[in-house]
Amino acid sequence: MSLPISQLDSYTMLHVMRSTHLSVPHALLGAALLTGLEWGKAPLAAALLWLLLFSLLLLSLWGTTWRAGRCPEHDDWQIAALYRRFAAQIVAAGSGWGVAAWILMPGDDLTYSLIVVLWGIAVSAVQGAMLSARRELFYGFVGPLWGLLLLRLFLSPEPVLRWVGASGVIYCLSLTLFTALLHRFALESMGQRAENASLMRELTLEQAQLDSYNAMLEQKNIELDGAVERISELASRDPLTGVLNMRSLMREMERLLEHSETQGAPFAIAIIDLDHFKRINDSCGHARGDEVLQQLCVLAQQALADGELFGRYGGEEFLLLAPACSGSELNRRMEALRDKVGGWDWRRLTGDLPVTLSCGVAAWRRGVDPLSLLQQADKALYQAKALGRDRVCLAREAEA
């Protein structure tokens, strides 16, 4: 819950307190100097007592204005509390300067009396400028000062001092009009500042909201990118085995063939088929058959070299794409894979039924398209099955 003061009030209160902070040391020096100038002309004990009490008041005022200089501009509670104390101290300071006219002004020496009057003029002019943003403070300071000073002048037996008092009245009116102009200017300036501060707070709040929305949007984009990536991954993968699906394999095969046509780099493929897979499904169930397919994929992917791709070609058939690999090299590696699959312990999944594979290997030759290369590998696979399965055949051997 904040105090019912406006932003403009907050700025003007802080302004007059911070401005007065700069003048307090000069006021202390001025009080001491005025006492020194009137030394011997005013009662010594009364003058020293006035200087002591007035200095304590000014030091208290300086402490209040010092705290105002470190007060946050949005802390309405602290600003209002400091301002109430400051206002009371300002009225007391005006009264203190007015009391000086009764204590320090000699009744029988016109020159030294005028020094006190001139001091009052100077002090009220300075404070008029300092307090112009808060006119009630200006009246609270100048009223006691000039009220006591004018009363002292008009009660003086010296006619000249009474004329000085009349001139003082004219001066007070002029000072009031001048500070009214300063007051209007200060309010316009600080009103613009308050409006700018309000706009800055709104902009800061909107910027914070925008940053929050941007962060949220960035997070959503990250999540969306992840979702798109997962969807893309799912669209390119076989849902059972997790390896590449037929469409992804064909896309990659076209890319690799184009690279070989351009660079003349070797390229070979292998079609792998599980032997008698229907027998495994019929005897052990489709769930165990699925586990056999998954384990075959694990073994095959362990045998892949860098840059090679492996995926499900259809049913129990799989396709391996081997860039930078000749047909004879891939044939040798497929023999090693065949031995690895045949020697793996399948008993947990198939019992006494063996798990073997047959494989057809084909190598790229310039001008061969994807369909022709697949047909060559498929013919080689057919020959491997015709020769009794559990073997690897190279395409040129199948054509011989």
**300-358 per-position pLDDT tens digit:** 999 999 999 999 998 899 999 999 999 999 999 999 999 999 999 999 999 989 999 99
For 322, counting Cβ atoms within 10 Å of its Cβ (0-12 exposed, 13-18 middle, 19+ buried), the class is buried
399: confidence class by pLDDT, cuts 50, 70, 90: very low
CB atoms within 10 A of CB 127: 26
Q: What is the largest CA-CA distance in the chain?
A: 146
Please tell me the least confidently modeled range out of 172-176, 190-194, 248-252, 344-348.
190-194
Q: What is the dihedral of CA 23, 135, 54, 171, to 10 degrees?
A: 90
- pLDDT confidence of residue 76: 81
CA 293 – CA 277 distance, rounded (Å)? 9
CA atoms within 13 A on the CB side of 273: 24
Under the banding of pLDDT at 50, 70 and 90, the label for residue 130 is: confident
Radius of gyration of the chain (CA): 51
pTM for the complete prediction? 0.49
Q: Are 299 and 337 in contact (CB under 8 A)?
A: yes
Strand partners, 271: 319, 360
Inter-CA distances, 279 with 126, 208, 352, Å: 110, 67, 12
- By C-alpha distance, which of 244, 263, 262, 266 is closest to 326? 266
CB atoms within 10 A of CB 58: 22
Instruction: Look at residue 266 and give its three-state secondary structure.
Output: coil
CA distance 299 to 223: 33
Specify the length of the chain in residues.
Answer: 400
| Separation between Cα atoms, residue 381 and residue 270, nearest integer Å | 9
Percent of the chain with pLDDT over 90: 38
Residue 272's DSSP bridge partners are 318, 359
What CA–CA distance (Å, rounded) separates 302 from 249?
18
- pLDDT greater than 50 at residue 30: yes
Q: How far apart are CA 48 and CA 230, in angstroms?
A: 90
